[in-house]
Amino acid sequence: MALTANLDGERPTFVTHLECSLTGERYAADVLQGLSAAGRPLLVRYDLAAAGAALSRDTLEGRPTDLWRWRELLPVRRTASIVSLGEIETPLIPIPNSAAPNVIVKDEGRLPTGSFKARGLVMAVAMARELGVTRIAMPTNGNAGAALAAYATRAGIETVVLCPDDTPEINVREIAAQGARVYRVNGLIDECGAIVGKGAAEGLWFDFSTLKEPYRIEGKKTMGLELAAQLGWRLPKAIFYPTGGGTGLIGMWKAFDELEALGWIGSERPKMFAVQASGCAPIVKAWEDGVEHAERWENADTIAMGIRVPKAVGDFLILRAVRESGGRGIAVDDADTLAAVDDCGRKDGLLLCPEGGATLAAWRKAVAEGWIDEGDEAVLFNCATGLKYPLKDSSVTLDKKNLAPLSSL
């Protein structure tokens, strides 16, 4: 198939169409789309043969290591549509003291607005700009709203964000500080999403909820593209991913398939571990029950707000990736998450967010249960900077006028 024509002649693009993730029904790529007719997420499809003929690994490796180096495998057609705040390639950091020598953290907290939500929202906002969207609304547990506010403001798109009323205060304030109108709702994120959906049905805005537009997955899949490149075009034995809506896990699984189609990696895949909190584990329960769709988790409660998602629209895509990989869903207690955050900071100097701490707790559980070997190379995703979250005060007051012997300090 020939290279898809540019709309303005500025950027090579290999997008061919959108596809319903459940039925395979095809949709036009250059038209504003939400969910498919079946009510399921749409996936972007590419002419990968043409992309592979136009792009080599050598060419890629000669480019700056940012998110946009992958442009042939991304959906934006017009250069003018791109909105950026400096989406760097995030580092891989070993944590040998709190885990094992072969365990590395991909630290997504280095991205703009301090979380991996920047990946998905920069792509979704760029495509919203390209397709003429002028007003957006989205539910959030915090970090996604902050990323949306930053990119949408930069793109000149009006934004409304709804969050549960117990969302961390710093998130609520940064959303407003970056130009969005933010509302606190006395409910969970899916209940905020229902309000967003009602407004979209009334024509008030475009619904930017997780997986209800096709392009956030494309931004999140760059985690998988980057990881393969950073590891010399191979993949680790296991990936532990904090799973709420699951966009990143779905995106990485898609990325691996696309890289194999390009001939850049082989057919081996990591075991994908969907990490949830014991107080909100719908994907884990569905995995254990052997079903394809997860029931809503009632009375969801966890300190890891980013994975407090009672029901995910892409549940079946998460479960398929986990099962096909030989991985599993893992639920961890908040106490184990907090212990993991504390250990990683004190022993390895890396401050994890609670959701990142959950992945370390899940790795420990997987080793203890024999689901992986301690010596297996594993990648844990720290999805946000730990500086966004309350830290306990372990300081001691010192009286400058009545000092004890300094040797006792």
Degrees to nearest 5, angle at CA 209 with 207 and 214: 85
pLDDT value at residue 257: 98
Q: Which of 212, 277, 205 is nearest to 247 (CA)?
A: 212
Average pLDDT over residues 361-382: 98
Residue 99: HSE in the Cβ half-sphere, 13 Å Cα cutoff: 33
What span, in angstroms and rounded, lies between the C-alpha atoms of 257 and 317? 14
C-alpha 40: how far from its chain's center?
A: 19
pLDDT at 2: 27
Q: Residue 6 — pLDDT band, cuts 50, 70, 90? A: very low
Q: What is the pLDDT of residues 195-218, one digit of tens each?
A: 999 999 999 999 999 999 999 999
List pLDDT tens digits, range 315-354. 999 999 999 999 999 999 999 999 999 999 999 999 999 9
Q: Give the Cα separation of 154 and 150 in Å (integer).
A: 6
Q: What is the mean pLDDT of residues 294-320?
A: 95
pTM greater than the 0.75 cutoff: yes
Asked whether the CA dihedral 382, 390, 193, 191 is positive or negative, the reply is: positive
Two structure tokens written together for 183 = 């509302």
In this model, does residue 147 exceed pLDDT 90?
yes
> What CATH fold (topology level) applies to the domain 117-207?
Rossmann fold (3.40.50)
Strand 26-27 versus strand 158-164 pairing type: unpaired
* Phi–psi pair at 48, nearest 5 degrees: -75, -25
pLDDT at 12: 64
Please tell me the predicted confidence (pLDDT) of residue 7: 39
pLDDT of residue 1: 25
> Tokens 């203890």 appear where?
368
- Name the CATH topology of 92-114+215-387: Rossmann fold (3.40.50)
Mean pLDDT of the region 260-286: 98
- DSSP per residue, 92-146: EEE-TTTS-TTEEEEEGGGSGGGBTHHHHHHHHHHHHHHTT--EEEEE-SSHHHH
Phi then psi for residue 115, to 5 deg, are -155, 165
Q: Please tell me the distance from the alpha carbon of residue 185 to that of residue 178, in angstroms, as a whole number.
A: 20
Average pLDDT over residues 229-250: 97
Q: What is the pLDDT of residue 10?
A: 58
Q: What is the arithmetic mean of pLDDT over 222-237? A: 98
* Backbone phi and psi for residue 189, each to the nearest 5 degrees, phi listed first: -65, -35
Q: What is the pLDDT of residue 365?
A: 98
How do residues 76-123 score in pLDDT, each as one tens digit?
Answer: 999 999 999 999 999 999 999 999 999 999 999 999 999 999 999 999
Q: Is the pLDDT of residue 37 over 90?
A: yes
